[in-house]
Amino acid sequence: MQSVIPYGRQHITEEDLAAVREALLSDYLTQGPKILEFEEKFAEYVGANYAVALSNGTAALHLCAIALGVKPGQKVITTPITFAASANCVRYCGGEVVFGDIDPETYLLDINSVRRLLEESPIGTYHGIIPVDFAGRAVDLEAFQSLAEEFDLWIIEDACHAPGGYFKTSNGEASRCGSGEFADLAIFSFHPVKHIASGEGGMITTNDEGLYQKLLQLRTHGIIKDDERYSNSPEFAAGQEGETIYPAWYMEMQSLGYNYRITDFQAALGLSQLNRADQGIVRRREIAKIYFEAFKGLDFVKGQSGVVEGHAYHLYVLEVENRLGLYNYLREQRIFAQIHYIPCHLMPYYRDLGWQEGDRFNAETYYKHCISLPMYPTLTQEEQEFVITQVIKFFNNEG
């Protein structure tokens, strides 16, 4: 047994090491062929036409908000039960974040709370919605898309928790997280606690070619290198009158972009991890099923993630009566559970913008009871049994 059982952890194999080593010894540490290869494989994995790899998931969200044209004063809706980056990308562009509430059963952004917000304001007040596949459970984007069409909004799916996840559409078909079937853009993170680890890393997927081109440009300073698309003349480019051909050195900065690139050795690691992503999900689903069976019907459990089809189980969440007591007790046993999330609207930054306690009842109630148990593919059966025994022991001793 490991000395500590964390709530999530990466898994690095000999193949991963070999892939990184090969990339490090190649001609390209960055801006090389591994990045495109990672993008193509990832796009295929989620079922989207295009993918853009980036330095992290937060950079991915930032570029999405720019590409969709978020401007000061415009409002965007997201969930309060998410990592702060889902909301912050709107603020980077000067937009206003409006938090909906969560559905207390699924812990996902409640579409009815979103509809109420939209109906309270004149059309045009809101610009977009950022639903999050929280814990790995896929949002019903088909429903969100029809709402978005009604109110002329875009959708960014924050799928950081859910590569490989899916929901069932009204036709009974599986729609994969990040496929772009019902959203304009989707984003992923390859931080070590997520399904696929590259150290730092992120990805945007889309089916919109125009957005794809914009994102490529924004990722590298707003610079393009493409004879067909330059604004300046070949004469200017060459520095020679009468010249009709752009010289090989020429490039143009056409918009204000950033350096949000991923490196080739990170892409090589991501690619290697992607090859066993499905195996990881199978294992995560097994772990979820064992937790569910162990805790169902126990009276200290107020709610749990349960066994849900298409769930990618980034997290396994339990809601319990005495959450603080359980958390502290598990820590003494060297089980490092975690809390996901402190409601984003009650972070001091967002309180300063006017949000206060009582604004989002379901999210705030959930926060008082939620705890994420260890969930990662290399969690052993023995370790999981230890976690389950300790959780039950805590409540038996308490009662």
The residue ranges that bind ligand PLP (CB under 6 A) are: 56-58, 82-83, 85-86, 132, 158, 160-161, 189, 191, 202
Least Cα distance to 162 among 193, 124, 135 occurs for 135
CA angle 53, 47, 51 (to 5 degrees): 15
Whichever of 85 and 117 has its CB closer to ligand PLP, that residue is: 85
Name the residue nearer to ligand PLP (CB basis): 151 or 206: 206
Q: How far apart are CA 180 and CA 47, in angstroms?
A: 8
318 phi and psi angles, rounded to 5 deg: -120, 140
Q: How far apart are CA 219 and CA 261, in angstroms?
A: 6
Q: Smallest distance from the beta carbon of 388 to ligand PLP, in angstroms?
A: 25
When the beta carbons of 58 and 304 are compared against ligand PLP, the nearer one is 58
Report the residue number, 57 or 257, with the smaller CB distance to ligand PLP: 57
CB of 159 to ligand PLP, least distance (A): 8
The two three-digit tokens of residue 25, written as one number:
């010894």
Q: How far is the CB of 86 from ligand PLP (least distance, A)?
A: 5
> Closest separation between CB of residue 113 and ligand PLP, Å?
18
In terms of CB distance, is 117 or 159 closer to ligand PLP? 159
How far CA 329 is from CA of 49, 81, 221, 326, 398, in Å, comes to 47, 25, 49, 5, 11
Pair type for strands 370-373 and 316-320: antiparallel
Strands 202-206, 185-189: pairing kind:
antiparallel
Distances (CA, A) of 16 to 81, 120, 198, 271: 33, 51, 10, 9
For residues 11 and 378, is the Cβ–Cβ distance under 8 A?
yes
Q: Which is nearer to ligand PLP, 251 or 347 (CB)?
A: 347
> Facing residues of 252 across strands?
224
3-state secondary structure 28-62: CCECCHHHHHHHHHHHHHHCCCEEEEECCHHHHHH
Give least dist CB 200 to ligand PLP, A: 6
* Least distance between ligand PLP and beta carbon 312 (Å): 12
- Find the shortest distance in angstroms from Cβ 33 to ligand PLP: 23
- Closest distance of CB 240 from ligand PLP, Å: 45
Strands 154-158 and 126-130 turn out to be parallel
Which residue number is nearest to ligand PLP in terms of Cβ?
57
Supply the angle between the helices 381-398 and 277-295 in degrees, to the nearest 10.
Answer: 30
> To the nearest whole angstrom, how small is the minimum distance from the Cβ of residue 58 to ligand PLP?
3
